[in-house]
Amino acid sequence: MARVALVTGGMGGLGEAICIKMAALGYHVVTTYSPGNTKAKDWLATMEQQGFKFRAFPCDVADYDSAQQCVAQIVNEIGPVDVLVNNAGITRDMTFKKMGKTDWDAVMKTNLDSVFNMTKPVCDGMTDRGWGRVINISSVNGQKGAFGQTNYSAAKAGMHGFTKALALEVARKGVTVNTISPGYIGTKMVMAIPQEVLESKIIPQIPMSRLGKPEEVAGLVAYLASDEAAFLTGANIAINGGQHMY
């Protein structure tokens, strides 16, 4: 029976690549979308035209009750979640001087609280079955910081603290918990940055002199979800073209 992979924020550029990769490997892929997203049906239809029959459920990952209800529905209609990819995230970039409490809270709730909200209802099932994968998508800016991103950097760094602590708790139960920290990836969001800014400020920071590909991150997710990665847990794997090494 195919394992169930739940990818939050799966309709974004990186999330879509992860969904496609996991489906190609035989996983039963489920994703979430914001309750107000009117384009969800269009995305599902487009994916089906490409041969991918994904299931999608409305979920406010920043809200604990919504996450609980979403996972309960997935388990009831599809089956228990074997692989959870916490990929949902937003930005509210501005200097700390200009940042308000609303800007801070929005990013912390969506990027960090969501990791707790989505992992909580699936973790016990994973440990009970003796197999599971939790993969948290962080960012290079959670490792090195970034101007105008005190909220985002704090949330992304917090994700890995969560990873390390939970990894210790579930290691003997056949469940691994890992973090992936991508650098600048060629998603629609990054490609929306003015070309001049990309070429003059971002690309020069990357020793490989290019943006990463969503498929490259998806390949790393696939490895961490595999049986071959059973001895790898509590790690933060950087995939940033050499932009930040530690």
Residues serving a catalytic function are: 152
Cβ(166)–Cβ(116) below 8 Å: no
Q: Which residue stretches of the chain are H helix?
A: 13-24, 40-49, 64-77, 101-108, 114-129, 140-144, 150-170, 188-191, 195-197, 214-225
Cβ(64)–Cβ(112) below 8 Å: no
DSSP 193: S
d(CA 168, CA 177): 9
Number of CB atoms found within 10 A of residue 16's CB: 23
Of 230, 236, 221, 235, which is closest to residue 5 (Cα–Cα)?
221
d(CA 164, CA 198): 33
Cβ(180)–Cβ(136) below 8 Å: yes
Cβ(34)–Cβ(87) below 8 Å: no
